Amino acid sequence: MGAGGHTGRFVVAELLRRDLSVVAVGRSAQPLASLDPRVERREADVWDPARLTEALAGVPVVINCAGPFLDTADAVVRATLRAGAHYLDVTAEQASAAATLAEFDAPARAAGVRVVPGMGFFGGLADLIVTIAADQLGPLEDVEIAIALDSWHPTAGTRATGRRNTVRRQIIRGACLVPVEAERGRRRIVFGPPFEVQPVTVVPFSEMPLIHRHIEVDQVTTWLADRALADVLDEATPAPVAADDSGRSCQQFQVQVRAQSGGWTQMIRVEGRDIYAVTAPLVVEAAVRILDDDRVGAFAPGELFDARAFLTSLSPDALQLEVMEPRPAAELDDAR
């Protein structure tokens, strides 16, 4: 779903790069017309359950890239289950990811399939990184997820999601999801080069319900670099511009996780280029791996996949993963 959109096109290209069969489903033929001729095209609207189920027939894994997911996820998951397929989406919307996990675990079990929301840059990537830390440190006391972008030129889909997603954001405090308004904050965080010290603001995404689903952790905060936040909030910021034949922009990103437990701290860093383009190898790798598991139900990415093996398989081509050895917390600068 959403194969004709900005992120959807990256996903189609990644599937073809891996020599996988692709069925593109869109609301009309026009957005799909320019796709590679190897792609089978089917038309269906999310608001037509019978037509949508028919369009998904014979497809083993459905990748939903059609946002806002608050509007599309429920209908597409239901059609996917009727078609007997596994489901993945790339939502950054907390309410959508939380609802998918809560509402479709039992139906997915009954259908004998796996449902995984939030398998994109915002959400699933951070969940996988934090899972690596939890696998090494055990129950976690405090986790900081810091996201630096040298710019954020939003797509039309990102703009539409921002207008639609008015649900109050949440973070994790006391092992519970609580409204972010109770924890407004700004500070400065030291990133790796080329970002170095960046002013940041609390801006959580779908990683919160994903992490809360399966990781024992008392406190989680997501910080977004102020320059990226300013870009996406500015209506004058243009859409991303391709810098090469792949369609990727020049935009650079870095996601840094600092996890603490029992006096030990672990730092894990992932960096790469173009947050929309990197979603494609993330969700396509998930689509390949989802077929090799026999568990059924709804899962967070780190709950279903071996997080370190997953990200290592994408490094260094799609992203660069650096997992630092845990160190006594007193040895590391607080970076405040």
- CA distances to 32, 33, 57 from 38, in Å: 12, 12, 18
Are 197 and 190 in contact, with CB atoms under 8 Å apart?
Answer: yes
State yes or no: pLDDT of 219 exceeds 50: yes
Which region among 78-87, 229-238, 327-336 has the lowest average model confidence (pLDDT)? 327-336
Residues of the chain with CATH 3.40.50.720: 6-116
At a CB cut-off of 8 Å and minimum separation 6, what does 316 contact?
none
233: CB partners within 8 A, 6+ apart:
none
323's CB contacts (< 8 A; 6+ apart) are 132, 266, 268, 308
Report how far Cα 187 is from the mean position of its chain's Cα atoms: 24
Instruction: State percent of the chain over pLDDT 70.
Output: 98
The highest-level CATH class for domain 6-116 is: alpha beta
What would the pLDDT profile of 79-97 be if each residue is shown by its tens digit? 999 999 999 999 999 999 9
**What is the pLDDT confidence band of residue 323, given thresholds at 50, 70 and 90?**
very high
More confident residue, 107 or 166: 107
Question: Do 252 and 227 contact (CB within 8 A), yes or no?
Answer: no
Secondary structure (DSSP) of 64-97:
E--S-HHHHHHHHHHHHHHHT-EEEE----HHHH
Rounded to whole angstroms, how far apart are CA atoms 99 and 77?
Answer: 11
Residues of the chain with CATH 3.30.360.10: 122-274+308-331
Q: Which helix (H) or strand (E) element contains residue 326?
A: none
- 331 pLDDT higher than 80: no
Residue 255 to residue 294: CA distance in whole angstroms: 31
State the DSSP string of 219-285: EEEEEEEHHHHHHHH-TTPPPP---STT---S-EEEEEEEEEETTEEEEEEEEEE-HHHHHHHHHHH
- Residue 146, strand partner residues: 223, 256
Least confident segment among 31-40, 137-146, 233-242, 301-310: 31-40
- Determine the length of the chain: 336
- Give the residue from 221, 61, 31, 70 showing the smallest Cα distance to 140: 221
Portion of the chain with pLDDT greater than 90, in percent? 86
Q: Please state whether the peptide bond connecting residue 238 to the residue before it is cis, i.e. omega within 30 degrees of 0.
A: no
CA distances from 14 to 10, 21, 43, 130, 202 (A): 6, 11, 21, 25, 32
CA distance 5 to 321: 28
Residues 6+ apart with CB under 8 A from 63: 1, 11, 88, 89, 90, 283, 284, 287
For domain 122-274+308-331, give the fold: Dihydrodipicolinate Reductase; domain 2 (3.30.360)
Place of tokens 């399966």: 214
Which of 145-149, 272-276, 328-332 is predicted with the least confidence, judged by mean pLDDT?
328-332
Name the average pLDDT for the chain: 94
Q: Looking at residue 49, what is its pLDDT? A: 94
For 25-58, what is each residue's pLDDT tens digit?
Answer: 988 888 888 898 999 999 998 889 999 999 999 9
Q: What are phi and psi of 137, to 5 degrees?
A: -100, -15
Tell me: pLDDT of 182 over 90.
no
Q: 222 to each of 97, 98, 170, 172, how far by Cα in Å? A: 16, 17, 10, 10
pTM to 2 decimals? 0.95
